[in-house]
Structure 1
């Protein structure tokens, strides 16, 4: 099966998720810097969620730039990933309104972990669906996703024991690591 329409569907769903997150941002009560500064957590978690969405889009864009064929297993696995990912607007609000509480942060991190694990499964299914694609077989590794899971689990431990926002900080750090570690290793 060709990938163009499937890529377009993923892009559309991610655009909707980002739109919902933006629409849930509260407006400042007036046009002052003080009113804007009161939205610190809400805007901060929005920024993290936007980066999460952009990173997921970038991941899929990079993967599908080399994929030639997909099958039903690939489609359904991505459907499940998008189902989990579609909770991001709700989790963004939940964390923004309860920033220093463990449970909302834990759910945000858990969605991150589930998405990473399912993405690893997704990559393996892609490789099986397109076995002759050498670029896919060699170029797509699950190592960054494993690093994500480990880092978010560390954040969950710190969040449970001491500082709940450590979870969302680790989510953000894992994304930055995925972007910058390959750049540093090529120097």
Structure 2
């Protein structure tokens, strides 16, 4: 199986996901400062989702850049990841339109958490396909930053459930922004 087909299809789905999200940004009927200010939850939801989907795409791109072997299991786990990500526009719109109510942030953080778990499964399948001692596997071993993100996402779910959805959303923003810190800097800080 050729990795190019998976990459092309995946890139197309990422583009569609981002397009669907931007279509949720409705033009205010009365374009004044107050109308734009009232839209901040919708725009904040969109911005964080755009960042998350973009980071997910970049991770996928870096992962598949070095892939030489693709199995049927990799194909279907990749499809599962795309399925989870395809729900992000719905969760984004729901969260923004409902001013970050607890259930909406909980569902949103849950989708992000599931996406991280599926990505970890994808990485592990690719490592197995290339051999656990291969240069590919060595390059993608050590998911400290990914596991930290997953833990914080789960914490955001709990925080939202107990009644602090705005704090949970802020945690999700911080998690996404932390991915701009290069991995080697993050790894040194952890030691």
If the length of structure 1 is used for normalisation, what is the TM-score? 0.91
8 A contact 2:48–2:176 mirrored in 1: no
| Ranges of 4+ aligned residues in structure 1 off by more than 4 Å | none
8 A contact 2:106–2:156 mirrored in 1: no
1:175 aligns with 2:176: yes
Cα distance in structure 1, aligned partners of 2:18 and 2:11: 11
8 A contact 2:153–2:172 mirrored in 1: yes
Matched with 1:150 is 151
8 A contact 2:103–2:160 mirrored in 1: no
Matched with 1:73 is 73
CA RMSD of aligned residues (A): 1.9
Assess, with a 3 A threshold, how the Cα gap between structure 1 residues 14 and 69 changes in structure 2: closer, same or farther: same
Higher mean C-alpha deviation, range 4-13 or range 143-152: 143-152
Matched with 1:161 is 162
Cα distance in structure 2, aligned partners of 1:134 and 1:118: 22
Aligned residues: 187
| Deviation of 1:69 (Å) | 1.1
Q: Deviations over 1:68-119 (max 9, x none)?
A: 1111000000111111110011001110122231111100010011111111
Higher mean C-alpha deviation, range 174-183 or range 9-18: 174-183
Higher mean C-alpha deviation, range 129-138 or range 44-53: 129-138
Q: Deviations over 1:122-157 (max 9, x none)?
A: 111011112288332111133222111111122222
Cα distance in structure 1, aligned partners of 2:2 and 2:13: 19
1:7 aligns with 2:11: no
| Deviation of 1:164 (Å) | 0.7
Give 1:125-140 correspondences, 5 Å limit: 125-131=125-131, 134-140=134-140
Matched with 1:124 is 124
Matched with 2:30 is 30
Cα distance in structure 1, aligned partners of 2:33 and 2:133: 53
Cα distance in structure 2, aligned partners of 1:181 and 1:166: 25
If the length of structure 2 is used for normalisation, what is the TM-score? 0.89
Cα distance in structure 1, aligned partners of 2:176 and 2:135: 23
| Deviation of 1:55 (Å) | 0.4
Partner-residue secondary structure (3-state), 1:100? coil
8 A contact 1:113–1:152 mirrored in 2: yes
Partner-residue secondary structure (3-state), 1:165? helix
